[in-house]
Chain A
Amino acid sequence: MSTILEVKDLTKKFADTEVLKGISFELKKGETLAVIGSSGSGKSTMLRCLNQLSPPDSGEILLEGVNINTPEIDLNTVRADMGFVFQDFNLFIHLSVLENVMFGPLRVRGLPKKEAREIAMAEIERVGMIDKIDFYPAQLSGGQQQRISIARALALRPKLILFDEPTSALDPELTGEVLGVMTALANDGMTAIVVTHEMGFAQSVADKAIFIDQGIIVEQGVPEQMFAAPRHERTRHFLSNFVGLE
């Protein structure tokens, strides 16, 4: 499989605090990468640097071989190719479910309405929400809102999707439905980076995992191996917080 994303020595500072101190990793087409680490370690910052919601200070981000961390690149095109799913969904509250999912194809990609609608319907179907197309975000549960926000990201037909703790704002009983959708996506060959505290999901679905601590990647590898036999003390310590991992 070809490499879709290659990150080289990414750094980011806020005022005087170095939040990312040289992050490097590679992702192949179709892979799911789980990013784990304790609160404040820089996971969200890393995702936000990838699509430049926060511009990185230095480093290269090669998307299909092209460095997108240069001033010449058209940011909006890059962002449309990288889906982003937020912890708190951020659906457009004045638009219905269908309009939310049509929004990308229609307003970002500039497709005709009919085509945008077809794409949207397919993605809504994929996340199992076809009976709710005329609902507004305020009428949906958190889990349903998150599934729609995943559909909204997919409707742009991105090259990869970034998930920032997509289930952290959800009650435990709603977490399953969202992880189910994400598992199906991974099986369909979608490329994804998932920041998560769901170790079960990381272990069973992700092809790779990276553990970030204080802005550096301490350890990376295959999740089963990393979780069963962490090589670093800090990884071991972090994983010990999650009981019931086998």
Chain B
Amino acid sequence: MEIIRILISELPQFAKGTLIALEVLAGLLALGLVLGLAIALAEIFGNTVVKFFATTLRKFLWAIPQLVLLFLVFYLPFDLNPVCAAIIALGLCSSAFQSQIFRGAILSVQSGQIEAAKAMGLSKPKIIFYIVIPQMIRLSIGPWTNEFSSELKDTSLAYVVGVVEIMRQAKYIIAYTFGNTAAVYLFVGVLYFMLTRIGTYFFYKLEERLWVPGFEKRS
């Protein structure tokens, strides 16, 4: 079982690739979260002009394939390193998805509570900060976990612009496994599976911690 020996000896390379993938993932999710939340708030609470720009941006980002945006950002004349380019491109795509998650969650905060806060003399920014966002977070974790695992998989796209993540490491290793290509990809598949399970478990625990009676619980 030569291939097992090779895979074991290449574990440090896979670990490096995994760390890079996680770096891209963290970066793109963070960018997608900030921009996605901004888009959602702008679309719901903004005036007509703000709303128009937010909606247009979301629809635009929604429509572009991730690969196209990856190449587009990478070949911008800014000399971005591949990891940054991947984070920006995939983060922009993710923001369109995340904005829809947040939008749904914000709209399911009962309007009566917002009216009650208004009647107490709370300003709009404070209503958003103290009432809407805390409830939105609890309602978003479930769908957000899906977005997390789908983006984890999509970090593999970053290899097209030269990011040395898990897929790129696999390619290097395949070069001298002499025909055991499928075994390497099987190993990569299991690796993604484990990463997804660990991440999902973490978000499930977070959701449990933030749960208070009155919010729907995932079964």
Residues of A within 8 A of B (CB): 51, 53, 75-81, 84, 86, 88, 90-94, 96, 103-104, 107-108, 136-139, 149, 152-153, 156
| Residue in A93, A107, A136 whose beta carbon sits within 8 Å of that of B113 in the complex | A93
Which chain A positions have C-beta within 8 A of B115?
Answer: 53, 86, 90
- Shortest CB distance A66–B (Å): 16
| Residue in B112, B117, B138, B213 whose beta carbon sits within 8 Å of that of A139 in the complex | B213
Structural contact, B112 and A79, CB atoms closer than 8 A: no
Which chain A positions have C-beta within 8 A of B138?
Answer: 94
| Residue in B110, B123, B134 whose beta carbon sits within 8 Å of that of A90 in the complex | B110
Whether B119 sits at the interface, judged by CB under 8 Å, is yes
- How many angstroms from the CA of A79 to the CA of B123 in the assembled complex? 11
**Total A-B pairs in contact (CB under 8 Å)?**
71
Structural contact, B122 and A51, CB atoms closer than 8 A: no
Structural contact, A107 and B126, CB atoms closer than 8 A: yes
12 A-B residue pairs with Cβ-Cβ distance under 8 Å, sorted by A, are A53-B118, A75-B121, A76-B123, A77-B121, A86-B112, A86-B115, A88-B112, A92-B116, A94-B212, A94-B215, A136-B214, A156-B120
- How many angstroms from the CA of A51 to the CA of B119 in the assembled complex? 7
Which chain B positions have C-beta within 8 A of A84?
Answer: 116, 119-120
Structural contact, B112 and A108, CB atoms closer than 8 A: no
Report B81-129 residues with CB < 8 Å from chain A CB.
110, 112-113, 115-123, 126
- Shortest CB distance A187–B (Å): 25
- How many angstroms from the CA of A78 to the CA of B110 in the assembled complex? 24
Report B2-60 residues with CB < 8 Å from chain A CB.
none
Whether B157 sits at the interface, judged by CB under 8 Å, is no
Structural contact, A136 and B122, CB atoms closer than 8 A: no
Structural contact, B135 and A94, CB atoms closer than 8 A: yes
- How many angstroms from the CA of A136 to the CA of B138 in the assembled complex? 15
